[in-house]
Amino acid sequence: MTLHATIDRVTDRIRSRSRTTREAYLTKIARAAADGPRRAHLNCGNQAHAYAAMPDKDDLALSRKPNIGIVTAYNDMLSAHQPYERFPDLIRRAGNAAGATVQVAGGVPAMCDGVTQGRAGMELSLFSRDVIALAAGVALSHDCFDAAVYLGVCDKIVPGLVMAAATFGHVPAVFLPAGPMPSGLPNNEKSRVRQQFAAGEVGRDALMAAEMASYHSPGTCTFYGTANSNQMLMEFMGLHLPGSSFVNPNTPLRDALTVAGVQRAAAITRLGNDYLPAGEVLDEKAFVNGIVGLMATGGSTNLVMHIPAMAKAAGILIDIQDFHDISETVPLMARVYPNGLADVNHFHAAGGIGYMIGQLLDAGLLHPDVKTIHGTGLDGYTSEPKLDGEAIRWEEGSRDTLNDRILRPAHDPFAKTGGLKQLGGNLGRGVIKISAVAAERHVIEAPARVFSDQEQVKDAFKAGEFTEDTVVVVRFQGPRANGMPELHSLTPILAVLQDRGLRVALLTDGRMSGASGKVPAAIHISPEASVGGPLARVRDGDLIRLDAASGTIDCLAPDFDARPAAVHDPVPSSEGMGRELFAAFRAVAGPATEGAGVVV
> Residues forming the annotated binding site for [4Fe-4S] cluster?
154, 221
CA dist list (Å): 135 to 129, 172, 522, 577: 10, 18, 33, 20
Q: Specify the length of the chain in residues.
A: 600
DSSP code of 275? -
Contacts of 433 (CB under 8 A, 6+ apart): 298, 301, 419, 420, 421, 516, 517, 521
Contact 504, 472 (CB under 8 A): yes
The residue among 224, 264, 218 whose CA lies nearest residue 240 is: 264
Contacts of 463 (CB under 8 A, 6+ apart): none
Contacts of 273 (CB under 8 A, 6+ apart): none
Contact 493, 458 (CB under 8 A): yes
Bridge partner residues of 545 (DSSP): 445, 554
Coil, strand or helix at 555: strand
Contacts of 401 (CB under 8 A, 6+ apart): 350, 351, 355, 407, 408, 409
Distance separating alpha carbons of residues 224 and 89, to the nearest angstrom: 30
Other beta carbons less than 10 A from residue 195's beta carbon:
18
Helix axes 157-167, 125-140, angle to 10 degrees: 40
Which amino acids are annotated as binding site, given as ranges? 154, 221
- Helix/strand/coil percent split, the chain, to 5: 45, 15, 40
Contacts of 301 (CB under 8 A, 6+ apart): 420, 431, 433, 511, 512, 514, 516, 523, 524
Torsion of CA 320, 326, 329, 333, to 10 degrees: -110
CA dist list (Å): 250 to 12, 71, 179, 230: 42, 20, 9, 20
